[in-house]
Amino acid sequence: MRKPMSRREFVGTTLAATTTAASFARILGANDRIYIGIIGCGDRGRQALMKEILEFEKETNVEITAVCDPWRQMREQAVAQVKEVSGREPAQFAHYVDLLALKNVDAVTIATPEHQHCTQLIAAARAGKDAYVEKPLAMNMEELIQASDTVKKYGRVVQNGTQIRSLPQALAAREFIASGGLGKILKAAQARNGSQPYWLRYAERSVTETDVDWKAFLMHLRPRPFDARQYAGWYGYREFSRGPHTTQGLHFIDTVHFITGVSTPSRAVAHFGSFRFKDGWTVPDSVEMVFEYPEGFVVRYGQFFGNGAGRDNRIYGTRGSIDCSDWDWDGQWPVSGEGVEGPDKVENGTKLPRVESVPHMKNWLECLRTRKAPNAPMEAGYAHAVAGIMADESFLRGKRMAYDPAKRKIYEA
């Protein structure tokens, strides 16, 4: 279980649950405006999620009423961005519990350091708020199970931030595979290499102790003196983010889950290391992990930093393979029969057809009103989190790990 809330958190969350009690029974009509709160105003929260909400606010009849971030400059930039687009100035807070206590917040986006995701999602669900939460959903099974159970208990609409499954290409691949277009699935593999780790550019940001709430950032982690490098470059520290396998790697894992229709892997093995970018960072700069699925195929994900060559992203079947590398909205994934023997192999040069799709954020905003499951519901976040945790445990223990879905338990295989 998570560590107990502080008195401030308890009072704030309890107040939120009381003041929003009516929202549990509220049935939204087409003319009812939905109010959104932004938890986390960094690059992802402000420049991606919030920007997309503002893009669709008139079409979906929503309004951003509050923003929250422990870093003063980030939340001030978010306020200015909302005001510039909508003409309205949202309330701003350093603590997420203060935002959750507002009556005029029906749903929240959570784009914060990864150690905060489950704590904030659980509090949002208890307060009667729906949520869009960035991946990974969780860092360990304990918090994952608690978050999943809480969201289910309170009937919240949750969209996970694995937006690739909303691309038209992903939908087309899902239909193609379901129709038998690739035959039996044998393997999916991605190599996502880069010249430099993504956490370096974040660590270059200048931050001073007087501008941030350091305790709010640490949350339930052990207290320590303020560290500007940890605050700005949290992606590079395992306490706040496990590493590439649970950040960028889970985009691929979730995409495979969606396209093939599978859920959690049955077994996993992983090898990680820090071979070039050490300098105090505690996340690996090189990861290799392999998953076995009960449906009878394997998934491999590899990533290293120092050289960006050799990138690839494919799903293989007995009739051919799909190149899933193009993540542009207007792209079309090519299908090839290269390497396959037999008369039923896919014709080379084939491209998956364009299909209708709704952008990931718009899909969530629409589901807030209809109460339908979004494209990346809680079950999807649970499954990708299990895969990431299995890989991480394999790395830590030096063992192959297995997962029992009935017991919701990861163990050494």
The closest of 160, 347, 330 to 255, measured between CA atoms, is 160
Amino acid letter, residue 238: R
**Residue 393 falls within a domain, yes or no?**
yes
The H-or-E segment that residue 16 falls in is helix 7-19
β-strand pairing of 34-39 with 62-68: parallel
Alpha helix stretches (DSSP H) within 127-167? 141-154
The H-or-E segment that residue 229 falls in is helix 228-232
For residue 26, the model assigns a pLDDT of: 54
* Model confidence pLDDT, tens digit, residues 84-139: 999 999 999 999 999 999 999 999 999 999 999 999 999 999 999 999 999 999 99
Asked whether the predicted pLDDT for residue 242 surpasses 90, the reply is: yes
Judgement on whether residues 148 and 26 belong to the same structural domain of the protein:
yes
Asked whether the predicted pLDDT for residue 21 surpasses 90, the reply is: no
Partner residues linked to 304 by β-bridges: 286
* Model confidence pLDDT, tens digit, residues 374-413: 999 999 999 999 999 999 999 999 999 999 999 999 999 9
Place 29 in a pLDDT band, splitting at 50, 70 and 90.
low
Tokens found for residue 359: 């952008």
**Residue 406 falls within a domain, yes or no?**
yes
User: What is the pLDDT of the chain when averaged over all its residues?
Assistant: 93
Q: Report the alpha-carbon distance of residue 324 to residue 336 in Å, rounded.
A: 12
Q: Residues 319, 346: contact at Cβ < 8 Å?
A: yes
Judgement on whether residues 368 and 287 belong to the same structural domain of the protein:
no
**Structural domain that includes position 261:** 165-197+244-357+386-412
Q: Which residue has the higher pLDDT, 120 or 349?
A: 120
Q: What is the CATH number of the domain that holds 132?
A: 3.40.50.720
Q: Residues 103, 19: contact at Cβ < 8 Å?
A: yes
Tokens found for residue 311: 């990138």
Judgement on whether residues 40 and 66 belong to the same structural domain of the protein:
yes
For residue 4, the model assigns a pLDDT of: 41
Contacts of 386 (CB under 8 A, 6+ apart): 141, 144, 264, 265, 403, 410
For residue 132, the model assigns a pLDDT of: 98
Q: Report the alpha-carbon distance of residue 76 to residue 238 in Å, rounded.
A: 28
Q: What is the CATH number of the domain that holds 317?
A: 3.30.360.10
With b meaning 16 or more CB within 10 Å and e meaning fewer, what string describes 31-60?
eeebbbbbbbbbeebbebbbebbbebbeeb
Task: Strand 130-133: give its sheet, edge to edge.
Answer: 91-93, 62-68, 34-39, 107-110, 130-133, 158-160
Beta strands in 238-294 (DSSP E): 267-273, 286-293
**Residue 155 falls within a domain, yes or no?**
yes
Judgement on whether residues 398 and 279 belong to the same structural domain of the protein:
yes
Judgement on whether residues 16 and 79 belong to the same structural domain of the protein:
yes
Judgement on whether residues 40 and 136 belong to the same structural domain of the protein:
yes
Judgement on whether residues 117 and 155 belong to the same structural domain of the protein:
yes
Judgement on whether residues 154 and 270 belong to the same structural domain of the protein:
no
**Residue 16 falls within a domain, yes or no?**
yes
Q: Report the alpha-carbon distance of residue 338 to residue 255 in Å, rounded.
A: 23
Task: List Cα–Cα distances, 153 to 42, 134, 343, in angstroms.
Answer: 30, 21, 51
**Residue 67 falls within a domain, yes or no?**
yes
Residue labelled with tokens 């102790």: 209
Quick one: average pLDDT of 8-31? 48
Judgement on whether residues 119 and 91 belong to the same structural domain of the protein:
yes
Beta strands in 201-319 (DSSP E): 267-273, 286-293, 297-304, 312-317
β-strand pairing of 312-317 with 334-336: unpaired
Quick one: average pLDDT of 65-77? 98
Judgement on whether residues 322 and 373 belong to the same structural domain of the protein:
no
* Report field, pTM of the whole predicted structure over 0.85: yes
**Residue 350 falls within a domain, yes or no?**
yes
Residue labelled with tokens 């939204």: 28
Judgement on whether residues 156 and 284 belong to the same structural domain of the protein:
no
For residue 8, the model assigns a pLDDT of: 47
* Model confidence pLDDT, tens digit, residues 285-338: 999 999 999 999 999 999 999 999 999 999 999 999 999 999 999 999 999 999
Judgement on whether residues 171 and 85 belong to the same structural domain of the protein:
no
**Residue 230 falls within a domain, yes or no?**
no
Q: How many domains, in total, are found in the chain? A: 2
**Residue 215 falls within a domain, yes or no?**
no
Q: Is 271 left (phi over 0), alpha (psi -120 to 50) or beta?
A: beta
